[in-house]
A and B are shown apart, each in its own frame.
Chain A
Amino acid sequence: MIASSVLAVVENPPPYLSVGGFSISVPNAIVIGVMLALFVLAIVVPFPKDKEES
């Protein structure tokens, strides 16, 4: 059973990005990219003003 599961993964590996000795799967790269984008947006996007304040 374990051998068949290993085959299932090995036969359908996710696409990988490789730069030199560094490699990362595309799904993992997307998640890290989303987190970085959220971090930058959280800093630069203005927070909505409170109605009482305006």
Chain B
Amino acid sequence: MITRVPRIAPSEITPPEVYFSRRALLAGALATGASALLPAAEAPQAQGAALTYTANPQYSVKDTPNKYEEIAGYNNFYEFGTDKDEPSRNAHTLKTRPWSVTVSGEAEVRGTFDLDDLLKGLALEERVYRFRCVEAWSMVVPWVGFPLSSLLARFKPTSRAKYVGFTTLYDPRQMPGQRVAVLNWPYVEGLRIDEAMHPLTLMVVGLYGRVLPNQDGAPLRLIVPWKYGFKGIKSIVKIDFTSVQPRTAWNVAAPNEYGFYANVNPQVDHPRWSQATERRIGAPFLAARRPTLPFNGYAEQVASLYQGMDLRRYF
């Protein structure tokens, strides 16, 4: 069992003015400029600027990652259309720079921050995580990002911060799917604060070593590997610390089908389909279906977060 994240004493946290200072060194977090762009011939799959990161084998699974074109060509990102191939075709309209993130609620440090300022000083790491969609398919993805806890700590959440909510950009001009009321826009997701501070919870800015493609949630998205994929909110513009549970998009849309917790659980079926097994995208014909693991295989690390909870009720 991985121990819980130690509570960070306020004195240990570097003052935000240092973090958010434009004069601070970039520290190689984001390699920008044309020099970072490899010629297309050398990198036929992954596009976007290369990132500087270190691999984190401790938090990586051994499974073979899915191909780039699978991860960037098969997306649920309803802001760009409800078919799986629509986000990759439509998400080019999203402008990911400049990008700002507004921090509000039960935290000492609030305000609107430029994303590049927020990212300064955060060491990027690559983690190969299992990804399990609520629709019973799965992938294995080499994300590049940083623990959410290291970002949240900078805002000094107060003791009243029991939950943290996230909001996706709302701009139907950039996100044409928002012109249709399929969900109650903007998309909102949230975590209990201990889930948010768990070392597995990742803020993602990259994929396959490069800047995240728009259709995968650029420029900033959440990944909670033991929860169904819809918890991993994309293109985040707002972080809100609250004392009450956030009203999350899918839970509002169909509360009997999508819970707030949405932990991967083969024992608790979706009302309309089984969650006992899943199909691994990209696996060969007749060898793709595999059993779904409790907490998507991360039970050892996260099951203790839910001790004593009825997971059928809090699905």
State yes or no: do A and B come from one complex: no
- What residues make up the interface of B, taking CB atoms closer than 8 Å to A? none
